[in-house]
């Protein structure tokens, strides 16, 4: 059993949180190269922390040893979203997952299909209308917001535009307060952004509670009647589900999809005609550009990861960007090769961690999958697209979600009716 490569520095002065937040990908790349190891240590949030950049390390952390490496109940997420599944451990987390997953599977998920179809149609039908290039990330974020507010709160932009607008603004204020908090301070009560966020949260909570009391339909209705640990649990989770984070993650994936396929007519044609090929394209999109950089755990006891000793109370962070480019599993790791998923990497989807992995993986994966396929199929059936202007700086930033730092613009050309009619019958 070896000591983790690197060093965890001295308290406060040795903290590397800011360096990490500035550019997490370079932070990890530099250290992986320096230590010649995809697992190393540094100091984050003023705590010695193991960084996991290998598939093997990620699998041990999130699957085999998930009872040793636990969620941090004092995470910033708790300050802003309250007590939710995200920061809960043990039996309580199991019970919450059991209850909540019923909302995202089976008949509940099925009944969302019509809404997903209609919201994609509404938000994507006019992409070529202005004749001007579209800022795709903003368009897709609006689509994601219409999806979550319509689905989770029964507030539809076309039916209640003012309420929709108000909630969207409150969610944004709430979110900006969360990220304005200094990264190394747990309860940043003096930050003005943070107090605006708390005000926005209170207003959102009033709207949510009103919905839970008076709306018996759809997701809100089902959530209201679920067995949950206490009376505030349903409202806290709704606050989480409608948070700005989910539309951002959806917009991140859709933006990466349109960029990967821009100007590539043959790949688009194939993805439109062959659902299995579209599946491999989407796997490759999430492999190369996972929306979230990763996740964090705390070691509840002395343990090991990938053969390295991890002492009790160490933090552990898995970096999905680096795990997904582990050359042990993914040959030519930086290349966009959808075919790998029907060849060498067939059946290895469980080596990805864009949606986490193991018993604490994302409960919204199926819903996201249905939504992404619908949105991507809509784009493929109705448009040709290319970067406009053709040369743009597409360098990615990774926080809070992955996307090009300079918002890319894309021109969409509507395909002629004959072709979309033909594809409707395929």
Interface with ligand HEM (CB under 6 A): 85-86, 93, 97, 241, 246, 249-250, 253, 291-292, 295, 354-356, 360, 362-364, 367-368
Smallest gap from residue 400 Cβ to ligand HEM (A): 12
Smallest gap from residue 40 Cβ to ligand HEM (A): 20
Assess contact for 310 and 50: CB atoms under 8 A.
yes
Q: How many CA atoms lie within 13 A of 343 on its CB side?
A: 8
How much of the chain is helix, strand and coil, in % rounded to 5?
Answer: 55, 10, 35
Name which of 223 and 306 has its Cβ closer to ligand HEM: 223
Name which of 86 and 329 has its Cβ closer to ligand HEM: 86
Name which of 31 and 141 has its Cβ closer to ligand HEM: 141
Cα–Cα distance for residue pair 335/341, rounded to 1 Å: 13
First to last CA, the chain: 56
Smallest gap from residue 320 Cβ to ligand HEM (A): 7
Name which of 193 and 358 has its Cβ closer to ligand HEM: 358
Name which of 299 and 415 has its Cβ closer to ligand HEM: 299
Smallest gap from residue 363 Cβ to ligand HEM (A): 5
Name which of 92 and 199 has its Cβ closer to ligand HEM: 92
| Strand partners of residue 304 | 309
CA separation, residue 302 to residues 45, 58, 59, 60, 98 (Å): 20, 17, 18, 14, 29
Name which of 39 and 250 has its Cβ closer to ligand HEM: 250
Cα–Cα distance for residue pair 15/47, rounded to 1 Å: 8
Smallest gap from residue 356 Cβ to ligand HEM (A): 3
DSSP string, 59-71: HIIIIITTTTEE-
Residue 303 has which token pair? 């343990």
Residue nearest to ligand HEM (CB): 364
Name which of 41 and 354 has its Cβ closer to ligand HEM: 354
Smallest gap from residue 240 Cβ to ligand HEM (A): 6
Cα–Cα distance for residue pair 112/367, rounded to 1 Å: 9
Name which of 306 and 317 has its Cβ closer to ligand HEM: 317
Q: How many CA atoms lie within 13 A of 264 on its CB side?
A: 13
* Closest by CA position to 368, among listed 247, 219, 268: 247
Smallest gap from residue 34 Cβ to ligand HEM (A): 26
Return the CA Rg of the chain: 22
Smallest gap from residue 64 Cβ to ligand HEM (A): 15
Cα–Cα distance for residue pair 81/380, rounded to 1 Å: 37
Cα–Cα distance for residue pair 402/256, rounded to 1 Å: 9
- The sign of the torsion formed by the CA atoms of 268, 273, 276, 279 equals positive
Name which of 241 and 330 has its Cβ closer to ligand HEM: 241
Assess contact for 291 and 141: CB atoms under 8 A.
no
Assess contact for 4 and 28: CB atoms under 8 A.
no
Per residue in 202-228, is it b (16+ CB within 10 Å) or e — as a string? eebbebbeebbeeeeebbbeebbeeeb
Smallest gap from residue 243 Cβ to ligand HEM (A): 9
Smallest gap from residue 207 Cβ to ligand HEM (A): 17
Name which of 85 and 410 has its Cβ closer to ligand HEM: 85
Assess contact for 120 and 143: CB atoms under 8 A.
yes
Smallest gap from residue 289 Cβ to ligand HEM (A): 10
């Amino acid at each position: 059993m070896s000591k983790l490569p690197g060093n965890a520095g001295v308290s406060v002065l040795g903290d590397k949180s800011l360096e990490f937040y500035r550019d997490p990908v370079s932070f990890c790349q530099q250290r992986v190269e320096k230590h010649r190891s995809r697992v190393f240590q540094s100091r984050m949030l003023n705590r010695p922390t193991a960084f996991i950049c290998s598939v093997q390390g990620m699998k041990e952390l999130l699957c085999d040893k998930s009872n040793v490496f636990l969620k941090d109940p004092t995470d910033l997420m708790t300050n802003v979203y309250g007590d939710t599944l995200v920061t809960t451990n043990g039996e309580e987390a199991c019970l919450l997952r059991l209850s909540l997953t019923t909302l995202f599977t089976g008949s509940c998920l099925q009944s969302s299909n019509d809404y997903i179809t209609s919201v994609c149609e509404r938000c994507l039908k006019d992409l070529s209308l202005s004749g001007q290039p579209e800022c795709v990330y903003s368009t897709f974020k609006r689509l994601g917001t219409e999806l979550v507010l319509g689905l989770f709160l029964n507030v539809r932009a076309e039916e209640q535009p003012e309420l929709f607008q108000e909630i969207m603004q409150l969610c944004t204020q709430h979110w900006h307060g969360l990220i304005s908090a200094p990264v190394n301070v747990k309860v940043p009560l003096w930050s003005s952004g943070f107090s605006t966020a708390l005000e926005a949260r209170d207003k959102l909570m009033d709207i949510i509670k009103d919905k839970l009391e008076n709306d018996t339909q759809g997701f809100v209705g089902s959530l209201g009647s679920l067995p949950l640990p206490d009376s505030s649990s349903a409202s806290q989770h709704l606050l989480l589900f409608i948070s700005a984070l989910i539309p951002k993650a959806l917009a991140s994936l859709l933006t990466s999809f349109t960029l990967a396929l821009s100007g590539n007519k043959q790949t688009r044609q194939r993805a439109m005609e062959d659902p299995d090929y579209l599946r491999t394209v989407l796997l490759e999109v999430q492999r190369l550009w996972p929306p979230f950089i990763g996740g964090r755990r705390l070691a509840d006891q002395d343990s090991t990861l990938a053969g390295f000793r991890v002492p009790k109370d160490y933090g552990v962070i898995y970096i999905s960007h680096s795990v997904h480019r582990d050359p042990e599993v993914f040959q030519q790791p930086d290349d966009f090769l959808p075919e790998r998923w029907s060849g060498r990497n067939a059946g290895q989807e469980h080596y990805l961690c864009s949606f986490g992995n193991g018993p604490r993986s994302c409960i919204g994966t199926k819903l996201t999958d249905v939504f992404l396929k619908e949105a991507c199929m809509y784009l493929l059936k109705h448009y040709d697209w290319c970067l406009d202007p053709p040369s743009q700086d597409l360098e990615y930033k990774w926080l809070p979600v992955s996307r090009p730092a300079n918002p890319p613009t894309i021109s969409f050309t509507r395909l002629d009716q004959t072709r979309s009619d033909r594809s409707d019958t395929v």
